[in-house]
Amino acid sequence: MSKKILVWFRNDLRLHDNEMLVEAIAKSDSILPVYILDRRSFGETKYGTLKTGNIRAQFILESVLGLRSSLKQIGGNLLIAEGNPEDIIPQLAQEYEITEVYHHREVAREETHVSTLVENALWKLRINLKHFIGHTLYNKEDLPFPIKDIPDAFNQFKKKIERDSMIKPCFAAPDRINVAEVIDWGVLSSLEELNLLPQQKDQRADFEFVGGEAEGLAHLQKVIAAMQQAATTKNLILASKLSAWLAMGSLSPRKVYWEIKKMEGVPNTKAMFNHILLGLLWRDYFRFMFKKYGNTFFSPDGFGSQGLIDVVNEQDNFNKWKNAQTGFAVVDAVMTELNQTGFISNIARQTAALYLINNLEVSWVFGAAYFEEKLIDYNPASNWGNWANVAGVGNDQKSKSVFDLDKNIKNLDPKGNYSLTWAS
């Protein structure tokens, strides 16, 4: 019997640096690349927010179609289905006589739960689900400590990992692929079919996020060009805006690292290099912390012991914050920017979060749920991990005291005109 591997794409929508794909091609006669649109990711949360808002939904659809077109360019295609992976993957496995299923391991509870359901269903068919690691800069296997011993303090984590670990080279993108014979490769739902409306463009938005590997790689080259320009003009632009492509896996963190590393030695580029690298380390840190502690990050208590305090007007205050009607100009401007574009800078995120938690006395979990709906770059570990940190209930006790709303506002809006420019 010929060996056919089903490659289940999730948040890893790329050909470059994709070990799962490289291995599937090497170890099979043909592969079946599959993406499943799981409607549960578009439902409502217990906080009255959507799991995925219109801006990220659009980006996801573009990213999936981007992967299909990347696969077509090397002689393949992407089978697109809609429903529950735990139902569809076993069906496809039987229909196409699949011998093994490959996927990337996730860390947050809903995603890992779906993996377990798929694994159990495949097990009944005596088919193995093989897990790959491909979302981080450093591989779990290459860490100088087991997951349970990863330092909770970010600074220690960074110091040790930089001293004792190495960043692997990227896997080359395949240039040819042999896919299973499929009669109907399926169509992807539109935004409207997901009951979402397209976002109207706001004139203040000076940046357009378009999903897909090709767009992500092109944006990475723009970041490098900006680094080169900064080398001569000394006009540093620190926010790379790479996060949305990283979140969908259309860009691999290793690819980002090795590309920006090519700038090493070019004068005046070190600050930007260090800034992006620091961001990628934070990203790894939260992922590994999710692996270490799992669901604790989703609990209102987090790693604290204060318990949920019942606050009068919590829902009213939450609504004002969401709708940019707090009366506090910078926060309202930041929330308008988030609502209109799906992206705000790190400092703007911290500012909005601090104001919600400290000034409006709303539990941070409501804010995290709202960011989950709105952010174009949402990923569970970075979002819930950062929110828990800002709320002071994260696992890194040292980070409790570093957040300061007044200082943030001075940095974010030194001229008091943020609402006009969104200069993030």
Ligand X SMILES: Cc1cc2nc3c(=O)[nH]c(=O)nc-3n(C[C@H](O)[C@H](O)[C@H](O)COP(=O)(O)OP(=O)(O)OC[C@H]3O[C@@H](n4cnc5c(N)ncnc54)[C@H](O)[C@@H]3O)c2cc1C
Using CB under 6 A as the binding rule, whether residue 298 contacts ligand X is answered as: no
Using CB under 6 A as the binding rule, whether residue 382 contacts ligand X is answered as: yes
Choice between 102 and 422, CB closer to ligand X = 422
Using CB under 6 A as the binding rule, whether residue 81 contacts ligand X is answered as: no
Pair 366, 313: CB distance under 8 Å: no
Count of residues that bind ligand X according to CB under 6 A: 29
d(CA 115, CA 85): 8
Q: For the chain, first and last CA: distance in Å? A: 56
The contact pattern for ligand X, residues 29-68, with x = CB under 6 A and - = no contact, is: ----------------------------------------
Choice between 16 and 349, CB closer to ligand X = 349
Choice between 56 and 68, CB closer to ligand X = 56
Which are the contacts of 352, defined by CB distance < 8 A and separation ≥ 6?
321, 331, 334, 335, 338, 344, 367
Q: State the Rg of the chain over Cα.
A: 22
Using CB under 6 A as the binding rule, whether residue 24 contacts ligand X is answered as: no
Using CB under 6 A as the binding rule, whether residue 350 contacts ligand X is answered as: yes
**DSSP assignment string, 66-109:** HHHHHHHHTT---EEEES-HHHHHHHHHHHTT-SEEEEE---SH
We find the least distance from the C-beta atom of residue 29 to ligand X, in angstroms, to be 37
Choice between 171 and 370, CB closer to ligand X = 370
Choose which of 129, 349, 418, 422 interacts with ligand X (CB under 6 A).
349
Using CB under 6 A as the binding rule, whether residue 362 contacts ligand X is answered as: no
Nearest residue (beta carbon) to ligand X = 279
6 DSSP β-pair partners? 32, 101
Choice between 227 and 242, CB closer to ligand X = 242
Using CB under 6 A as the binding rule, whether residue 282 contacts ligand X is answered as: yes
Is the Cα dihedral 257, 260, 265, 267 positive or negative? negative
We find the least distance from the C-beta atom of residue 115 to ligand X, in angstroms, to be 20
Using CB under 6 A as the binding rule, whether residue 241 contacts ligand X is answered as: yes
The span of 139-147, 295-303, 385-393, 412-420 binding ligand X (CB under 6 A) equals 385-393
d(CA 170, CA 168): 6
Which are the contacts of 279, defined by CB distance < 8 A and separation ≥ 6?
240, 346
d(CA 5, CA 103): 11
User: 47: closest CA among 375, 369, 384, 372?
Assistant: 369
Choice between 375 and 405, CB closer to ligand X = 375
419 DSSP β-pair partners? none
Helix (H) / strand (E) element for 32: namely strand 30-37
We find the least distance from the C-beta atom of residue 306 to ligand X, in angstroms, to be 19
We find the least distance from the C-beta atom of residue 297 to ligand X, in angstroms, to be 12
Helix (H, G, I), strand (E, B) or coil at 279: helix
Using CB under 6 A as the binding rule, whether residue 374 contacts ligand X is answered as: no
Using CB under 6 A as the binding rule, whether residue 392 contacts ligand X is answered as: no
Residue 167, Cα to own-chain centre: how many angstroms? 20
We find the least distance from the C-beta atom of residue 364 to ligand X, in angstroms, to be 9
Residue 229, Cα to own-chain centre: how many angstroms? 28
Using CB under 6 A as the binding rule, whether residue 240 contacts ligand X is answered as: yes
We find the least distance from the C-beta atom of residue 107 to ligand X, in angstroms, to be 13
Pair 228, 266: CB distance under 8 Å: yes
Which DSSP symbol is given to 229?
H
Using CB under 6 A as the binding rule, whether residue 363 contacts ligand X is answered as: no
The contact pattern for ligand X, residues 245-264, with x = CB under 6 A and - = no contact, is: -xx-----------------
We find the least distance from the C-beta atom of residue 247 to ligand X, in angstroms, to be 5
Tokens of 74: 């090397």
We find the least distance from the C-beta atom of residue 346 to ligand X, in angstroms, to be 3
Binding residues for ligand X, per CB under 6 A? Answer: 239-243, 246-247, 275-276, 279-280, 282-283, 286, 345-346, 349-350, 353, 371, 375, 377-379, 382-383, 386-387, 390
